Amino acid sequence: MKTWPVIGSSLLLNAILAAAIILSLRKTPPPAPAPVAAAPASSMISPSPPVTTPPSPGLPFQWSQIASPDLKIYRDNLRAIGCPELTVREIIRAVINENFRTRRRDILASFQDHYWDMVLRRELVRRQWLPRTEWGQALESLKAERQELIADVLGRDSLITEAERQTQRTELEQRRSWLSPEKRKKLIELEEQHQQRLVEWAETLGLRVNGMPTQEDEDRLENWQQEFEESETQLLTPEELAKLQLRESDVANWAASLPGFNPTEDEWRSLTQLRSQFEASQNAPAGPDLTDEQRAAQQDEVQSNFVNSVQEALGSDRFAQYQLANNDQYQALRNVAQRYGLPDSVAAQGLNVQQTAQAAANQVRANSNLSPEDQQAALNAIQQETEQTLSQILGVKVLSTYKEYGGDWLTGLSQTE
Amino acid sequence: MRSSFLAISMMGNLVLVAVFLAVRHGSMPPGPAVPAPATSTAAAPKTAPAWPATKGTPAPVVPWRLIASADYRQYIANLRAAGCPEWLVRDIIVADIDDLYEQKSRTDPVYFAPWQGADQRRKTARSRSVKLDALRQEKRALVKSLLGYEWENYGEEVWNQDLRTSLTFGFLPDDKATQVLSLKDKYTEAAQNVREDANFILIDEDRARLQTLYEEFGAETSRLLSPSELDELQLRAQQGFLLANDINFDGVTISREELREMVRLSRSFKDMAREEFVPDRPLTEAKQLRQKTAFEAQVKQLLGPKRFADYQRAQDSNFREIFAFSQQNNLPPSAAVKVYESRLNASEQADEIQNDGSLSAGERAAALAVLKAATMNTISSALGGSYQDFLQGPGQWLGALTPSPETQTTNQMQ
Between residues 132 and 151 of chain A, which touch chain B (CB distance below 8 Å)?
A: 136, 139-140, 143, 146
Number of domains in chain A: 4
Q: What is the pLDDT of residue A293?
A: 86
DSSP helix/strand/coil, A190: helix
Kindly state whether residues A16 and A90 are assigned to the same domain.
Answer: yes
| Residue of chain B nearest A250, judged by CA positions | B114
Confidence of residue A12 (pLDDT cuts 50, 70, 90): low
pLDDT for the residue numbered A7: 54
- Nearest one of B50, B86, B43 to B68, comparing CA atoms: B43
Q: Which of residues A117, A151, A185 is at a domain's end?
A: A151
Do A198 and A239 fall into the same domain?
yes
Residue A345 domain-assigned (yes or no): yes
Residue A172's identity, in one-letter code, is L
A221 compared with B6, residue with greater pLDDT: A221
Owning domain of residue A271: 254-314
User: Does one domain contain both A284 and A218?
Assistant: no
For A128-132, A162-166, A378-382, B80-84, which range has the lowest pLDDT when averaged over its residues?
Answer: A162-166
Q: Are A147 and A14 found together in one domain? A: yes
- A interface test, pick of B128, B163, B206 with most A CB neighbours within 10 Å: B163
Answer yes or no: do A116 and B256 touch at CB < 8 A: yes
CB crowding B373-385: b at 16 or more within 10 Å, else e: eebbebbbebbee
CB-based contact, A23 to chain B, within 8 Å: no
The reply to whether residue A263 touches residue B115, judged by beta carbons under 8 angstroms, is yes
> According to the model, what pLDDT value does residue A161 have?
55
Evaluate if residue B190 carries a pLDDT over 80: yes
Put simply, the chain B residues between 245 and 274 with a CB less than 8 A from any chain A CB are 248-249, 254, 256, 259-260, 263
**Model confidence at A61, in pLDDT bands (50, 70, 90)?**
confident
Nearest to B194 by CA among A259, A398, A408, A339: A339
Query: Is the CB of A340 inside 8 Å of chain B's CB atoms?
Result: yes
Average pLDDT score over residue span A179-193: 92
Same domain assignment for residues A56 and A132: yes
Residue B228's pLDDT is 96
A256 and chain B in contact, CB less than 8 A: yes
Choice among A5-19, A66-80, A389-403 with the minimum mean pLDDT: A5-19
Q: What is the distance in angstroms between the Cα of B164 and the nearest Cα belonging to chain A?
A: 8
The model's pLDDT over B133-150, given as tens digits with 9 standing for 90+, comes to 999 999 999 999 999 988
State which H helix or E strand residue B1 sits in.
Answer: none
Inform me whether the C-beta atom of residue B81 falls under 8 Å from chain A C-beta atoms. Answer: yes
Same domain for A238 and A269?
A: no
Tell me the residue type at A353.
Answer: V
Question: If pLDDT is split at 50, 70 and 90, which confidence band does B59 have?
Answer: very low
Compute the half-sphere exposure of residue B227: CA atoms within 13 Å on the CB side of its CA. Answer: 0
> How far B222 CA sits from the closest chain A CA (Å)?
21
Q: Which residues of A touch B92 (CB under 8 A)?
A: 87, 90-91, 94
Q: pLDDT band at residue A59, thresholds of 50, 70 and 90?
A: low
Put simply, the chain B residues between 347 and 386 with a CB less than 8 A from any chain A CB are none
Between A163 and B225, whose confidence is greater? B225
Residue A319 lies in a domain: no
Residues A305 and A376 in one domain: no
pLDDT in the model for residue B203: 94
Closest Cα in chain B to A18: B16
Query: What DSSP element (H or E) covers A102?
Result: helix A85-112
Q: Which of A151, A172, A199 is the last residue of a domain?
A: A151
Answer whether B80 sits within 8 Å of A79, measured CB to CB.
Answer: no
Residue A391 Cα distances to A289, A382, A388, A394, A404, angstroms:
55, 14, 5, 5, 14
Q: Both A378 and A394 in a single domain? A: yes
Chain A hits for B80, Cβ within 8 Å: 53, 56
Contacts of B96 in chain A (CB under 8 A): 87, 90
Residue B246 CB coordination number (10 Å): 9
pLDDT-derived band of residue A401, with 50, 70 and 90 as boundaries?
very high
Residues A146 and A168 in one domain: no
Q: What's the confidence (pLDDT) of residue B63?
A: 82
pLDDT at B266: 96
Task: Provide the pLDDT for residue B73.
Answer: 95
Put simply, whether B118 touches A (Cβ < 8 Å) is yes
pLDDT score of B27 more than 60: no
**In a domain? residue A323:** no
Is the pLDDT at B178 greater than 50? The verdict is: yes
Nearest CB to B118; choose among A25, A101, A259: A259
| A14/B62 CB distance under 8 A | no
- Contact map slice: B 7-66 vs A, CB within 8 A: 9-10, 12-13, 16-17, 19-20, 23-24, 26, 28, 30-31, 46-49, 51, 53-54, 57-58, 60-66
Is residue B268 predicted with pLDDT exceeding 80?
Answer: yes
Closest among A153, A141, A163 to A94, alpha carbons compared: A153
For chain B, what percent of residues have pLDDT higher than 90? 56
All residues of chain A having their beta carbon less than 8 Å from the beta carbon of residue B60 are 31-34, 80-81
Residue B405 contacts A, CB cutoff 8 Å: no
Mean pLDDT of all residues belonging to chain A: 83
Question: Which pLDDT score is estimated for A9?
Answer: 54
Does residue A417 lie in a domain region? Answer: no
Read off the pLDDT band of A157 (50, 70, 90): low
The mean per-residue pLDDT over the stretch A122-146 comes to 84
Where is pLDDT greater, at A55 or B379? B379
Specify the pTM: 0.73
pLDDT at B189: 92
Mean pLDDT of A64-83: 92
Residue A35 has pLDDT above 50, yes or no: no
This complex has an ipTM of 0.74
Q: Do B6 and A56 touch (CB under 8 A)?
A: no
In a domain, A79, yes or no: yes
Tell me if chain A has a CB within 8 Å of the CB of B78: yes
- Over residues B294-308, mean pLDDT: 96
Which residues touch B229 (CB under 8 Å, ≥6 apart)?
B171, B172, B176
Residues A32 and A92 in one domain: yes
Altogether, the residues listed in chain B come to a count of 414
Residue A31 has pLDDT above 50, yes or no: no
The answer to whether position A320 is within a domain reads: no
Establish if A156 belongs to a structural domain.
Answer: no
- Averaged pLDDT for residues B226-255: 94
Q: Is A81 on the interface with B (CB under 8 A)?
A: yes
Residue A199 pLDDT: 84
DSSP string, B293-329: HHHHHHHHHHHHHHHHHHHHHHT-HHHHHHHHHHHHT
Which pLDDT belongs to residue B283? 84
Determine, for residues A7 and B164 on separate chains, whether the beta-carbon distance falls below 8 Å: no
What band does B403 get if pLDDT is binned at 50, 70 and 90? low
Residue B118 burial (CB count, 10 A): 17
Q: Does A343 contact B at CB distance below 8 Å?
A: no
Residues A362 and A393 in one domain: yes
What mean pLDDT is predicted for residues B70-84? 93
Helices (H), B49-201: 64-67, 72-81, 86-106, 118-147, 153-161, 163-169, 174-197
Q: Which of A224, A247, A270 is the last residue of a domain?
A: A247
Query: Which pLDDT does position B61 carry in this prediction?
Result: 52
Within a domain: residue A334? yes
A297 CA: distance to closest CA in chain B (Å): 32
Query: Are A280 and A362 within one domain?
Result: no
Q: Does A263 touch chain B (CB under 8 A)?
A: yes
Per-residue three-class SS string for B343-374? HHHHHHHHHHHHHCCCCCHHHHHHHHHHHHHH
User: What integer pLDDT is reported at residue A413 of this predicted model?
Assistant: 93
Q: Chain B within 8 Å of A70 (Cβ-Cβ)?
A: no
Which chain A residue lies closest to B202 (C-alpha atoms)? A401
What pLDDT, on a 0 to 100 scale, did the predictor assign at position B346? 93
**Which residues 141-160 on chain B approach chain A with CB closer than 8 angstroms?**
153, 156, 160
